[in-house]
């Protein structure tokens, strides 16, 4: 069953240099149309901690109450929950309530080594202990297949000896300029070749495109899912539950440094972005996915709310 959350938020407020504390609530409800005897689900809704982010509180509620629940970390280190409802039920409600503190990036994007010096290092790490952190993100994945067209699109941003941070910022700017945000243009399964040809899509597509460009050049790129702090239009009240999931890219800059970029908005990721999970592509970090037996006309409701907690 595909995830209900297409990351489709094209706007964001100005970046902040200070740490920000958030409360994020995410609710997904399925109405199956008739009772199903059993359902199994994997849930990526608990935020992960990393050097710029600390999770202060995480609560996941599933209704009807599952007969089986197992909380663990997946292959990529993301917190994930497996739940199984083993009695007849006509609906499923999955809700997360998080409190997170996020800080801006710790290093300047321009203070990075040349991209062509990193490429052989990334390939070498594919067979070392660092593989799960770096090397594996060089290779094709289920939703990101590299092509010569992707390499050709990326090359103008990557002249020889250019610092990788500068190259990444330039590619981020070009994708933002060249591609139109259009939630009707693609689906979860739209191939990258079609996105590249149409020059339209949503942030999931733009993240996959960016990652495909990196991997086509032999550079690691990982897919990041999460939330983006948003502001209402001037003079309009903030609507509770009107936010959505978002997606962006994390690119390796040598050592333990990763630079996150948002091609949807043409900006560097900062304290306005909340990380939930990362993997090779969307298929690794779908917020809610699973299998049901039975059901008829399924209906879906998704509500996301991200608010700043005032000190």
Note the pLDDT of residue 86. Answer: 93
Note the pLDDT of residue 12. Answer: 45
DSSP tag of 47: P
List, run by run, the mean pLDDT of 10-residue segments along the chain (311 residues).
42 60 94 90 93 93 96 94 94 96 82 91 60 81 96 97 96 97 89 95 96 97 92 64 81 90 93 94 93 78 89 70
Angstrom distance (rounded) from CA 247 to CA 167: 20
Q: What is the per-residue burial (b if ≥16 Cβ within 10 Å, else e) of 56-72? A: eebebebeeebeeeeee
Note the pLDDT of residue 125. Answer: 66
Q: Where are the beta strands (DSSP E) in 105-198?
A: 180-181
Domain extent listing, the chain: 20-103+286-293+300-308, 115-284
Q: For residues 277 and 7, is the Cβ–Cβ distance under 8 A?
A: no
Angstrom distance (rounded) from CA 233 to CA 122: 43
Note the pLDDT of residue 256. Answer: 83
The class (CATH top level) of 20-103+286-293+300-308 is: mainly beta
Burial of 140 (0-12, 13-18, 19+ CB in 10 A): middle
Note the pLDDT of residue 223. Answer: 97
Tokens coding 289: 């996915």
Q: For residues 90 and 31, is the Cβ–Cβ distance under 8 A?
A: yes
- Angle among Cα 182, 247, 1 to the nearest 5 degrees reads 85
Please state whether the predicted TM-score (pTM) of the whole model is above 0.85: yes
Angstrom distance (rounded) from CA 123 to CA 259: 19
Strand partners, 22: 100, 308
Instruction: Report whether the peptide linkage leading into residue 64 is cis, meaning its omega lies within 30 degrees of zero.
Output: yes
Note the pLDDT of residue 2. Answer: 40
Q: How is domain 115-284 classified at the architecture level of CATH?
A: Roll (3.10)
């Amino acid at each position: 069953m595909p995830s209900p959350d297409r990351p489709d938020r094209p706007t964001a407020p100005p970046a902040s240099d200070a740490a920000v504390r958030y409360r994020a609530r995410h609710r997904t409800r399925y109405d199956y149309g008739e009772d199903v005897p059993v359902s199994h689900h994997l849930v990526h809704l608990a935020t992960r901690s990393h050097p710029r982010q600390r999770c202060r509180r995480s609560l996941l509620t599933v209704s009807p109450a599952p007969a089986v629940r197992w909380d663990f970390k997946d292959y990529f280190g993301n917190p994930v929950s497996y739940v199984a409802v083993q009695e007849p039920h006509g609906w499923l409600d999955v809700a997360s309530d998080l409190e997170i503190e996020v800080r801006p990036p710790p290093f300047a994007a321009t203070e990075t080594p040349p991209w062509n010096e990193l490429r052989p290092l990334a390939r070498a790490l594919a067979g070392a202990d660092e593989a799960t952190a770096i090397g594996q993100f060089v290779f094709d994945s289920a939703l990101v297949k590299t092509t010569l067209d992707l390499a050709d699109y990326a090359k103008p941003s990557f002249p020889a000896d250019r610092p990788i941070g500068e190259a990444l910022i330039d590619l981020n700017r070009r994708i933002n300029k060249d591609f139109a945000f259009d939630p009707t243009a693609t689906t979860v399964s739209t191939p990258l070749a079609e996105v590249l040809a149409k020059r339209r899509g949503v942030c999931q597509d733009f993240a996959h495109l960016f990652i495909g460009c990196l991997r086509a050049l032999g550079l690691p790129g990982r897919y990041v899912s999460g939330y983006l702090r948003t502001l209402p239009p001037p003079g309009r009240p903030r609507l509770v539950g009107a936010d959505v999931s978002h997606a962006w890219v994390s690119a390796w800059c040598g050592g333990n440094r990763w630079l996150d970029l948002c091609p949807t908005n043409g900006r560097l990721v900062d304290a306005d972005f909340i990380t939930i999970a990362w993997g090779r592509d969307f298929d690794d970090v779908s917020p809610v996915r699973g299998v049901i037996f039975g059901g008829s006309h399924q209906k879906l409701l998704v509500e996301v709310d991200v608010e700043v907690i005032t000190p």
